Amino acid sequence: MTTQLVLLDADDLMHPNTGEENYNESAYYNFYDPGRRLGGFARIGNRPNERHAEMTLCLYLPDGRVAFMFARPEIADNARFDAAGMRFEVRTPMREHRVRYDGPAVLLSRPLDLVDPKRAFSENPQRAVEVDLVYEGISPAYGGEPRERREGSWVSVRHERPGHEFARGHLEQHGRARGRIVVDGVDHPIDGFGLRDRSWGPRYWQAPAYYRWLTMNFGPDHGLVGALTVQRDGTEMHGGYVFRRDEPNRPIGRVEVETEYAAPEKLHARVRARLHPADGAPAEEIEGRVLNMVPLRNRRGGVTTRIAEGLTEWRWGERVGYGWSEYLDHLD
């Protein structure tokens, strides 16, 4: 039988818990409104066999401050995305979602304080935050899970190698986010563009040696995403796609990334990317400038992992767009 990457509408719903200790199902939405200079991302990662979820909210405010919250609330199962005041609802698979949050957030005048999360949370005020967004897909969804056709149905095929577990299945989709965000009593309407991501299967953040994930939005008609993941044995995984309105997504076969870093934290400040389509078409060349940086941290098994979240202005030929450059590296 032939194994192929297959994406089903059902992949936009909750998947069966396949029992691994580190089974994870996560959903992530980013969005940016350039007219209001406001954006951010929201994520829930369910880890039902570890009996908790990971909830992250990160809002980049027009004045340069960041409203941030992270929590690991207890969960009993993988039935829904509902954790620590955040909730995601799939109204129509692959078409429309709702993203909500109602709870506190740490208000950071200097987002780089999150290099030391304990200090950042103790030395900065917490304020009330509300988020209520409708997230509409504007590109075809891209991705899926390795599957085989058996007796008329698609059946999942496990393919992870020991130590390489990061996501058995994965989808991405460009979208439009409309609604409101309230931070410390200030109501911000929002109408912007972004990218969402959904992953399921065993995951440790410490599994890859590093990765570079670049998400780019150029209004309702164009977008790109590029991903370069390097495994600990040196194996490289390249992915992503080019989105143009009314065309199929064009898969990316190879991703090249050059980075300029800023001292003293050595976080990325400028990015140059060449995204090579899998069909041999000329490479798409993009330059990015980080507008605001939030360094996040994850620890497990004695390894400290940094996930640097750079709100980025992208230039693709004559087009100017926005999105995120996410860099995962290990500090130990």
- Domain positions in the chain are 4-330
- Left, alpha or beta for 184 (phi > 0: left; psi -120 to 50: alpha)? left
Residue 117 DSSP symbol: H
The reported pLDDT for the residue numbered 155 is 72
The reported pLDDT for the residue numbered 180 is 98
The reported pLDDT for the residue numbered 130 is 98
Q: Which helix (H) or strand (E) segment is 147 a member of?
A: strand 142-150
Q: Cβ–Cβ contacts within 10 Å for residue 279, how many?
A: 8
Per-residue pLDDT of 35-72, as tens digits, reads 999 999 999 999 999 999 999 999 999 999 999 999 99
3-state secondary structure of 74: strand
Residue 192 pLDDT level (bands cut at 50, 70, 90): very high
The reported pLDDT for the residue numbered 150 is 78
Per DSSP bridges, beta strands 82-83 and 66-71 are unpaired
The reported pLDDT for the residue numbered 284 is 98
The superfamily CATH assigns to domain 4-330 is: AttH-like domain (2.40.370.10)
Contact in structure between 173 and 139 (CB atoms under 8 Å): yes
- Buried b / exposed e along 168-195 (16+ C-beta atoms within 10 A): bbbbbbbbbbebebebeeeebebebbbb
Contact in structure between 194 and 204 (CB atoms under 8 Å): no
- 153 vs 76: CA distance, rounded Å: 30
The reported pLDDT for the residue numbered 160 is 59
DSSP states of 266-317 as a string? TEEEEEEEEEEETT-PPPEEEEEEEEEEEEEEEEETTEEEEEEEEEEEEEET
Contact in structure between 44 and 86 (CB atoms under 8 Å): yes
Distant-in-sequence, close-in-space partners of 139: CB < 8 Å, separation ≥ 6: 173, 174, 175, 223, 243, 249
If you search the block for the tokens 């909210």, which residue do you land on? 57
Reference 324, options 289, 299, 296; nearest CA is: 289
- The larger pLDDT score, comparing residue 151 to residue 233, is at 233
Residue 227 has pLDDT above 90, yes or no: yes
Per-residue pLDDT of 125-171, as tens digits, reads 999 999 999 999 999 999 998 878 776 776 777 665 655 555 689 99
Per-residue pLDDT of 291-312, as tens digits, reads 999 999 999 888 999 999 999 9
Residue 206 pLDDT level (bands cut at 50, 70, 90): confident
- 169 vs 17: CA distance, rounded Å: 13
- For the entire predicted model, the pTM comes to 0.95
The reported pLDDT for the residue numbered 98 is 98
Q: Cβ–Cβ contacts within 10 Å for residue 73, how many?
A: 15
Percent of the chain at pLDDT exceeding 90? 86
DSSP states of 197-241 as a string? EEEEEE--TTSEEEEEEEEEEBTBSEEEEEEEEEETTS-EEEEEE
Mean pLDDT across the chain, nearest whole number? 94
Residue 114 pLDDT level (bands cut at 50, 70, 90): very high
